Structure 1
Amino acid sequence: MAEVQTNPVAWETLLDLSAYAGPRHVRLELAVRDAVATGRLPSGAVLPPSRLLATSLGVSRWVVTEVYGRLAAEGILDARTGSGTRVAARVDVAAARSAAPPAEQQRRPRFDLTPGVPDLRHAPRALWLRAMTEALADTPDAELFPLDGDVPGARAALAAYLARSRFARADADTVVVTHGAADGMRRVARALHGLGHRALLVEDPSWHRMRHVAAAEGLTPVPVRVDEHGVDVDALVAASVRTGACAALVTPAHQFPVGVPLSAERRERLIAWARTCEGVVIEDDYDAEFRYDRRPIGALQAMAPERVVLAGSLSKTATPALGIGWLVLPPWLRDAMTPGGVRGADAAAPSTIDQLALARFLTTGGLDRHLRGARARYRRRREALLTALARALPECRVSGIAAGLHLVLDLPPGVRATDVVRAGAAHDVALTDIRRYRVSPDAPAPERLVLGYGDLADPLVDEAVSLLAAAVREAAVPGGTPPQVAAGGEGPRRVGAAR
């Protein structure tokens, strides 16, 4: 395939997979990211059809469709029904480049304590395969070719599931099936930009991918601080008055990364703000299914379905490999999503087969069975991690442990998180500084790590914590002040305190 620099039909762009390490789908993703970041694939360039590219590169078609779907979900590519897959018109080049590390960094560490990854060893393979097999066997031939990729049964199944599990006020007409939470954010941000919005109020700290996707669609992130009760609504209202922003992205069920739920009083005030300014709250339903101190908290969307967008996915509950998510939309935003409605040509949905499988997965209780087992595993792993931390790092404090798949660890006096991350890498332990999730990462902040335990194998917990403790000792600096008090669902405490 000879390289072409300026032709908007970029079927001949050279993609050299040998320059990267890892499985074929990882190498192809990195190659496409690099091509976008360097400008060899410019904005608007049309990529080859998946079958043609697979044949040219000598890979399976699944490899290409997986990569196209993943990059479309991030807003780097734009999959349009009837016009092929192309580089997004407003592609975030920095995001494409930052997500493509050198090949030598592609090997996964033995001890992965980074947040945001579920237990991939227990992905519901058999349940999903059964759902897909039964859906294909039972679906009439005519329904295998739906209009605009829309599968009403999938939307109806999602509406019913969200109504009973998240107390959402949803029906099939308000639900849109997406390629994941980031894809849903891209669609909402694009629609809001079209309606005249130019800024988005975001929690600080928060999950960076969502705000980067919104920024790529023209919404400037405006940071709002978070404390032990969730996002500071007084600060949010003040930022709204100062900037004119009338859209906010929040994680009320389990704030990421601090780990606190939004208090009932602040929920009411946030809804009142949205109604007063005729704005919208985008509810990222992060980690809502995994709560250990009480039943999961209901969706904010139920309080004001006309002012709240509910966004979720199967990435944490099942596996990111499925590439399936959803939006529950207010009617006015649903109509504004595209000129032809939410199911128009600009809203390419997951494949018909995937949507049919999703409907069967939900209606037959497959997801419910998977979640019951997952909650029990994560609860045991959480307890094992807390016990190991109490033994190895008794001077540290933890917070945000009441829900989700991660916790926040305050480091001892004089120890910098960046130094611990660097020392941990030398021990094959992947760690994350909480500053990674700050809107302004250079601003002063307590020294904390965000420790994920979703994909940490149970037999490795003790060894991983021992190596973490070694990294903390190696990074220690004489002197310092006592660690800052962390914000947590039940307040900060020393590891090993009564639970």
Structure 2
Amino acid sequence: MAESWATLGLDLHLEPAGPGVRRGLTDALREAVRGGRLAPGTRLPSSRSLAADLGIARNTVADAYADLVAEGWLTARQGSGTRVARGAPASPFGQTPSAEARRAGAARQPRERPRPVHDLVPGTPDLASFPRTQWLKAARRALATAPHHALGYGDPRGRPELRTALAGHLARVRGVRTDPDHLLVCAGFSHGLRILGTVLRARGVTTVAVESYGLDVHWDLLARVGLRTRPLPFDGLGTVTGDLAGPGAVLLTPAHQFPMGVPLHPDRRAAVTDWARRTGGLILEDDYDGEFRYDRQPVGALQGLDPDHVVHLGTASKSLAPGLRLAWMALPPSLMEEATAAKGPSDTCGVLDQLTLAEFITSGAYDRHVRSARLRYRRRRDALVEALATRAPDVHPTGIAAGLHAVLRLPPGTEPAVVQAAAWQGLALHGLSRFRHEQAAVAPLDALVVGYGTPPDHAWAGALDALCRVLP
């Protein structure tokens, strides 16, 4: 059977023109290299493959390749095929720019901000410890056993394998009361919050109560769907939930308040669920790092107190990696249909990652990874506490019983200077003022919010040294 373009090797789009087929092909290849369409090191199709694609003789292609090798545009080596030469000049505009043009272009390019030497910004785990080998094993098993139809558009709620695995895991580990039919998989916490904001707005809600300290990205997201945010008072027992008249929903981090680090007091947990039952309000529970606790028993999910009025939002961003873009919502039955419709008619989360996470959970690999990560982060936290006690005894860490960050209280008025000194030392960190709602009634506190999840293990000692140098 005659070979066709559909059955041969690498594809390459060329339009030979000019007098003679060989010359036209040579000129087209040369212009493709000179213009930057074929980058240095690019492998070209074999002469047989390109000849079949263009409908010309194989010897014509071989001769054109030989001409360009002789001119220095291409290289040809036995066993590695024909490639664009590494030193071949290239320009995205079809001609080699002058030195002056290159300098002018470089001057116009925005300069990238230098990466910090040490990153202590909260919110990201140690990405170097992602369980690549175990994840790859789970991916292979998941893909080998997945039915063919799993690779289609699928249920907008997410793959049933993942929702089933999550229902069991959340019940066992966080005390969440749900089932696979009331779980919705989403692409990160922000995606889930956007879905809920859309549902709330459609229900006529105009205001969401939030914590005085939190993430402005979440407040801004709610604002973009037309919802106002009203900060609640805050004290040593956490967010004050007794003043909830007016808002139709409240967004809380009850297990480990971000960034202050205190769990919501039991009386206030009871008060907010009572408010939801009386008024029909909705509690949005952000369980952002519920897996990591060190000096206390885990605080159960608020959703377990009232599954009909609490949405439990969890994510793999802290336990595994934010780049997975996988999160989930345990929804009240009355909200499931509206939230699914707000997400869209088909699943927008990667099927293969969903299947892999389901296998990762059911095989026990997820639990093993979390336990290992918990031990590693506890060692970092302990090293932080010890370093502060030795080198900065006037700085007291709080909120360290759980999570991936600590709050370091500073003398009044010193926060801006410390943050600036840290930047000069190549140390990325945030002051507490960055997380304060602009309408919060609580008095401003000078403090640093220091994340100890991001630096890899080998860099943690150096990060601690840099931190202690900038503390007052």
2:176 is the counterpart of 1:174: no
Q: Which residue matches 1:302?
A: 304
Deviation of 1:374 after TM superposition, in Å, equals 0.1
Deviation of 1:157 after TM superposition, in Å, equals 1.1
Alignment of 1:328-347 (within 5 A): 328-337=330-339, 341=341, 344-345=344-345
CA distance in 1, matches of 2:331, 2:225: 18
Kindly provide the CA deviation profile for residues 199-255 of structure 1, in whole angstroms up to 9, marking residues without a partner as x.
110001112222221121111111112222121012x32xxx2xx212000000000
Deviation of 1:343 after TM superposition, in Å, equals 6.4
Farther-moved stretch of structure 1 (221-230 vs 433-442): 433-442
| Aligned 8 A contact 1:253 1:299 in 2 | yes
Deviation of 1:146 after TM superposition, in Å, equals 4.8
Report SS of the residue matched to 1:465: helix
| Aligned 8 A contact 2:195 2:342 in 1 | no
| Aligned 8 A contact 2:116 2:427 in 1 | yes
| Aligned 8 A contact 1:334 1:342 in 2 | no
**Aligned AA for 2:368?**
R
Deviation of 1:344 after TM superposition, in Å, equals 4.1
CA distance in 1, matches of 2:359, 2:461: 39
2:217 is the counterpart of 1:189: no
Q: Which residue matches 1:93?
A: none
Q: Which residue matches 1:379?
A: 378
Q: 1:321 aligns with which of 323, 331, 335?
A: 323
2:289 is the counterpart of 1:291: no
CA distance in 2, matches of 1:442, 1:206: 11
Q: Which residue matches 1:398?
A: 397
The runs of 5 or more residues in structure 1 that have no matched partner are 1-55, 59-101, 474-499
Q: Which residue matches 1:206?
A: 214
Q: 2:415 aligns with which of 400, 417, 421?
A: 417
CA distance in 1, matches of 2:212, 2:351: 38
Report % sequence identity. 42
Deviation of 1:436 after TM superposition, in Å, equals 0.8
Alignment of 1:40-439 (within 5 A): 104-148=111-155, 150-234=158-242, 236-237=243-244, 241=245, 244-337=246-339, 341=341, 344-345=344-345, 348-413=347-412, 415-439=413-437
Aligned length in residues: 365
Kindly provide the CA deviation profile for residues 329-373 of structure 1, in whole angstroms up to 9, marking residues without a partner as x.
0111112225xx46642x643122121112111111121111011
CA distance in 1, matches of 2:234, 2:408: 17
Deviation of 1:457 after TM superposition, in Å, equals 3.2
| Aligned 8 A contact 1:433 1:449 in 2 | yes
Q: Which residue matches 2:456?
A: 457
For the aligned residue pairs, the C-alpha RMSD in angstroms reads 2.2
Kindly provide the CA deviation profile for residues 387-445 of structure 1, in whole angstroms up to 9, marking residues without a partner as x.
111122111111101000100001135x4212211111110111101111111189751
Runs (4+) of structure 1 moved beyond 6 Å?
A: none
Report SS of the residue matched to 1:262: coil
The runs of 5 or more residues in structure 2 that have no matched partner are 1-36, 40-108
Deviation of 1:472 after TM superposition, in Å, equals 3.2
**Aligned AA for 2:302?**
L
Kindly provide the CA deviation profile for residues 127-155 of structure 1, in whole angstroms up to 9, marking residues without a partner as x.
22111111111112233225345421111
Kindly provide the CA deviation profile for residues 5-49 of structure 1, in whole angstroms up to 9, marking residues without a partner as x.
xxxxxxxxxxxxxxxxxxxxxxxxxxxxxxxxxxxxxxxxxxxxx
**Aligned AA for 1:440?**
E
CA distance in 2, matches of 1:163, 1:132: 24
CA distance in 1, matches of 2:388, 2:371: 26
Q: Which residue matches 1:472?
A: 471
**Aligned AA for 1:361?**
F
Q: Which residue matches 2:18?
A: none
CA distance in 1, matches of 2:414, 2:38: 45
CA distance in 2, matches of 1:142, 1:334: 24
Q: Which residue matches 1:14?
A: none
Report SS of the residue matched to 1:446: coil
CA distance in 2, matches of 1:272, 1:403: 27
Q: TM-score, normalised by structure 2?
A: 0.73
| Aligned 8 A contact 2:317 2:324 in 1 | yes
**Aligned AA for 1:272?**
D
C-alpha change, 1:332 and 1:107, in structure 2 (3 Å) is: farther
Deviation of 1:167 after TM superposition, in Å, equals 0.8
CA distance in 2, matches of 1:363, 1:442: 43
Farther-moved stretch of structure 1 (181-190 vs 349-358): 349-358
**Aligned AA for 2:400?**
I
